[in-house]
Amino acid sequence: MEKSTNNPLAGARLAFIGCGVMAEALIAGLLRKQLVTAEQIVGSHPRTARREELYTKYATRMFASNREAVLEAHPNGADGSPRAGSLVILAVKPQRLTKVLHELKGSLHPEQLVVSIVAGARCEAIAGELLHPSVVRAMPNTPAQIGQGMTAWTATPEVNEFQQNEVAAMFAALGEAMRVENERQIDMATALSATGPTYVFLMMEALVDAGVHMGFSRHVAQDLVEQMMLGSVLFARESQKHPAELRNMVTSPGGTSAEAIYQMEKGGLRTVLSKAVWAAYQRAEALGGKKSNE
């Protein structure tokens, strides 16, 4: 790989702790976009079969021990570059996190940056458990698995500018990434962009069912709905018009859209969506263990 000086991850070392679906999406995206080489990545996983699978697919070195993976990714190791950073990405399920943090305590190099994508795990809790202040907390979503994700992330004050650039570059490998101001906004993004695919899939399912109800075969209804949703989003993005304006453009007097809108408003669709997002936000806060007022 040609190392670009504009690539903040050039020469960096990355350790993925818990190589499941999300870690693999990140590894695949980083390699596909040539932001890092396989030699820069190590991973850990408790199962031999999974370690072998990832080594075969990506040629990344895999360890059974989480601690060993972190030590392997210490900065200024084999690479020797003084500017190269080192990122430790926590990608285990929330219920495994406490055990993993206990294991990693004392193994981190002061210059290593901890990046957690674990839902609900607060920076303060991770930093406190690891005795390591540089922590980034991020919330990706499922389309990240095909490089079309939306990731919101925030950092503790100890994370320097160089490390922030590394994080932004890493999450760009999953699609779009946005730095938010604080963890309250991570909870808000959890409700909106991370839980969001659920809202879309439910609407997609309901529309396909409605197509079947009218008499379309399921696969025809699915094709019609999928392309309609994709095209509508791309159109909204490209036109840069307010959604209400776009909706008005297709609502002719006495027409089909007017009739459909009347029924959606009568059924409270707008209110239901708003309540769903608010409920998800409150749940995100509760799962984090406390209200975040940062």
Ligand X SMILES: NC(=O)c1ccc[n+]([C@@H]2O[C@H](COP(=O)([O-])OP(=O)(O)OC[C@H]3O[C@@H](n4cnc5c(N)ncnc54)[C@H](OP(=O)(O)O)[C@@H]3O)[C@@H](O)[C@H]2O)c1
Shortest separation between residue 221's beta carbon and ligand X, angstroms: 26
CA–CA separation, 42 vs 122, rounded Å? 25
The one-letter amino acid code at 109 reads: H
- Neighbouring C-beta atoms of residue 55, cutoff 10 Å: 14
Shortest separation between residue 100's beta carbon and ligand X, angstroms: 5
Shortest separation between residue 135's beta carbon and ligand X, angstroms: 15
Shortest separation between residue 99's beta carbon and ligand X, angstroms: 6
Q: Is 133 exposed, middle or buried (0-12, 13-18, 19+ CB in 10 A)?
A: middle
Cβ distance to ligand X smaller for residue 9 or 118: 118
Nearest residue to ligand X, scored by beta-carbon proximity: 20
Cβ distance to ligand X smaller for residue 17 or 208: 17
How far is residue 292 CA from its own chain's centroid?
20
How far is residue 99 CA from its own chain's centroid?
22
Paired residues of 15 in beta bridges? 42, 88
- The two structure tokens encoding residue 140: 């990706």
Q: Is 34 exposed, middle or buried (0-12, 13-18, 19+ CB in 10 A)?
A: middle
Q: What are phi and psi of 2, to 5 degrees?
A: -75, 115
Shortest separation between residue 208's beta carbon and ligand X, angstroms: 22
Cβ distance to ligand X smaller for residue 10 or 194: 194
Shortest separation between residue 230's beta carbon and ligand X, angstroms: 20
Query: What does the binding site for ligand X look like in residue numbers (CB under 6 A)?
Result: 17-18, 20-23, 44-47, 66, 91-94, 96, 99-100, 117-119, 139-142, 194
How far is residue 187 CA from its own chain's centroid?
13
Cβ distance to ligand X smaller for residue 17 or 35: 17
Cβ distance to ligand X smaller for residue 65 or 271: 65
Length of the chain: 294
Cβ distance to ligand X smaller for residue 50 or 261: 50
